[in-house]
Structure 1
Amino acid sequence: MDEVARFGTASVAQVAHLLSREEEQVLAEALRLTGEGSAVRGWLTAEAVAALVNGVERKRPLAEADPFIIKAFGQAQERSKPEWTSMTIPVLKNRLLQVSSQTFREMDYGSPNIWHFVTLFPHLLRTDGVRPGERVHLVDPSIVEPSSTDESAALDPVGRGRIRVDLWRAVFDYSSGKEYVWDDTVGRARLRAPEDVARPIIPTLGEEDLRGLRDEFVQTQDAISEHDSNRLNDWVEGAGATAALPRFYRGLWNAHLKSHAADRLRAFFVSEGLAVPVDMLERVADAVQPESDVERARRAAHRYVDAMTGEELARLSIEIAVVMRVPLRDEAPK
């Protein structure tokens, strides 16, 4: 599957599950319908998948998915994404789950996976790219209504802001097995008590949700080296500790988590008819960076040169490599 587009393709297991058949039966039928080469390393070609699922009974008509797709791109527009008319397949899948309150399933529309699903909407989506950078583009961006509020932009946490501690805990504290509710009397998220029957429960991410987020994060990164790719794959399959990430990706991962948490919380408040807290995103003061050993040495060197006499300056030795790094005045960039 390397260096080829996965659009329309599906694994033998995925198609077998959709059709409620054995994998051997699916392989035999694919061979009969499309001939040799219909399956490669457990994956069926787009032609074979189309032939196998043609006429399969759909639980939901395709037209019901149109609004979800449009809302998925609308969500990207509201968050002021610079290229909101285009997204990777994992990001689209995640957004479809968000806008459908986690009810979206490709199989309901007669499709074995998201890669095949996107090919069923040529009036909405255009596909391009090869593994692992395939993308879908919105054919007509004008069908997404412009956002009438700048609220979501204010909640975008990719900068120096952070999600309020009580809300962050409610979203990510899956390991405790506890539930959190929104207490509108104090405007805080807190642990659910027996008497909280009427209070809305804040949806907490599960372990599988977080694994999906890790996978989505890796899929959206560009130009990953082979060394980093192996480490990132281990991180996705492992415990997901930020410290296990290559250093370059740690800040990006934290921003990805914050962005997802903001989306999830905003969707929760809107679905419950509640106002999104204006302080959901707290500002973080600029961190004071400790002075490095190099900077301390450089400042000391400046003081030393300033104190030198002409004779001492004449004896000063400077490496030619340093001289070549500093342009002459008339060579300085304009």
Structure 2
Amino acid sequence: MEEVARFGSASLSQVAKLIGQSDDQVLATAEGLVGDGAANRGWLRADAVTALLEGVLSPLPRSDVEPLILKAFRQAQESPKADWTTMAVPVLKNRLLQLSSGEFRESDYGSPNIWHFVTQFPEVLAAEGARPHERVRLIEPEAIEADSRATPAALDPAGLGRIRQDLWRAVFDYSAQETFVWDERKGRARVRTHSDTDSLPVLPTLSAEDMGELRAEFVRLQERVSDYDATRLDEWAARGGPTAALPRLYRGLWNAHLKSHAANALRAFFLAEDLDVPTDLVGGVLTPDVPEREAEQLRRLAHRYIDAMTADELGRLSFEMAVVARVPARGEN
């Protein structure tokens, strides 16, 4: 049976932190306001949260964050996703964090968490669905204006294009322990110098910990992995290994995952800073001709992989119908 939605609810500790009380004090007050059953397993009902927060002032006006919410949906509009007017609640929070360079906090707007936060904008967002499939829908999609600035680079959800080298380095070169900034005059990312002012926007360079999370995320996204590959993927993620340490099948997928992350993070950065997105942020997909000799080598390699497959792995093997149509049926010449 599907659970009720989490909209408007919050944990005891989240509310306690927001209003500066202990969990026990919050629980006692909530039960006094709405009766027994105000909380279940440390989670407060929505009506209890509303009662507890009545009269609590928001540090920042909620109207200040509405443009950021609209930017999050504009970002979704420019993605290949067909239905951009609805968004999973965790996705919305992730976009708000990206667009604010990690500065977004629900508590700044008088909310203990994202589930309560989205209910505070009834003229902007409609809450829909039940746990675990809650989503928010933009009530007035026409409020999202198309980007009228210089033609932005498209997002690259499949990670097929090439990220411009200076931007790629700015995102991933955490080992240099440098701060990368966007030099709008030159239209390039570069290392910050002593003579630079603080006004230059700082690009979102990943940390070693961020890369670890990105590796773990990549492993979680892989479906129908053999036990052998699953062990190697887990070891690779735990040790922070290089791409070459991955099973060959996953190396291209990992590179695509990195490029997709970079494209999305950079696009969020430029939108948050209200800057023109470089039209060459993501280059075109390269499709070089493969010489026949190389194609034959690939065929032989494919045969070797097939010969090494178990029955279960063969059962998961798929072919494009165009290839199937070119192969004669048994008995045909």
TM-score, structure 1 normalization = 0.69
The residue that corresponds to 1:277 in the other structure is 278
Of 258, 264, 288, the residue aligned with 1:254 is 258
Aligned partner of 1:45: which letter?
R
The residue that corresponds to 2:157 in the other structure is 158
CA distance in 2, matches of 1:81, 1:132: 21
CA distance in 2, matches of 1:251, 1:30: 50
State the Cα deviation string for residues 113-156 of structure 1 (Å, max 9, x = none).
1111111122221122334432111112122223446823x332
Contact 1:77 1:147 in 2 (8 A): no
CA distance in 2, matches of 1:244, 1:43: 41
User: Aligned pair count?
Assistant: 291
The residue that corresponds to 2:110 in the other structure is 110
The residue that corresponds to 1:56 in the other structure is 56
Identity, % of aligned positions: 42
| CA deviation after TM superposition for structure 1 residue 167, in Å | 0.9
Any unmatched runs of 5+ in structure 1?
298-324, 329-334
Computing the radius of gyration from Cα coordinates, the structure with the larger value is 1
Structure 1's 282 and 25: CA in aligned 2 closer, same or farther, altered over 3 A? same
Structure 1's 195 and 131: CA in aligned 2 closer, same or farther, altered over 3 A? same
| CA deviation after TM superposition for structure 1 residue 252, in Å | 6.9
Of 289, 298, 303, the residue aligned with 1:291 is 298
CA distance in 2, matches of 1:6, 1:224: 28
RMSD: 4.4
Contact 2:182 2:203 in 1 (8 A): no
| CA deviation after TM superposition for structure 1 residue 212, in Å | 11
Partner SS state of residue 282, structure 1: coil
Greater alpha carbon shift after TM alignment, 44-53 vs 206-215: 206-215
Contact 1:5 1:134 in 2 (8 A): yes
Greater alpha carbon shift after TM alignment, 40-49 vs 97-106: 97-106
Partner SS state of residue 264, structure 2: helix
State the Cα deviation string for residues 309-332 of structure 1 (Å, max 9, x = none).
xxxxxxxxxxxxxxxx9889xxxx
The residue that corresponds to 2:91 in the other structure is 91
Structure 1's 207 and 191: CA in aligned 2 closer, same or farther, altered over 3 A? closer
Any unmatched runs of 5+ in structure 2?
305-326
Aligned partner of 1:266: which letter?
F
The residue that corresponds to 2:39 in the other structure is 39
Structure 1's 13 and 38: CA in aligned 2 closer, same or farther, altered over 3 A? same
The residue that corresponds to 1:181 in the other structure is 181
Bigger RCO of structures 1 and 2 (CA < 8 A, at least 6 apart): 2
Partner SS state of residue 281, structure 1: coil
Contact 2:212 2:240 in 1 (8 A): no
Partner SS state of residue 298, structure 2: coil
1:13-32 correspondence to structure 2 within 5 Å = 13-32=13-32
1:226-241 correspondence to structure 2 within 5 Å = none
CA distance in 2, matches of 1:63, 1:239: 45
Partner SS state of residue 162, structure 1: coil
Structure 1's 122 and 134: CA in aligned 2 closer, same or farther, altered over 3 A? same
TM-score, structure 2 normalization = 0.69
Aligned partner of 1:63: which letter?
S
The residue that corresponds to 2:312 in the other structure is none
Partner SS state of residue 65, structure 2: helix
Contact 2:60 2:109 in 1 (8 A): yes
CA distance in 2, matches of 1:9, 1:106: 13
Contact 2:155 2:264 in 1 (8 A): no
Structure 1's 239 and 104: CA in aligned 2 closer, same or farther, altered over 3 A? farther
Contact 1:163 1:280 in 2 (8 A): yes
CA distance in 2, matches of 1:161, 1:257: 12
Contact 1:182 1:200 in 2 (8 A): yes
CA distance in 1, matches of 2:239, 2:151: 34
Contact 2:78 2:154 in 1 (8 A): no
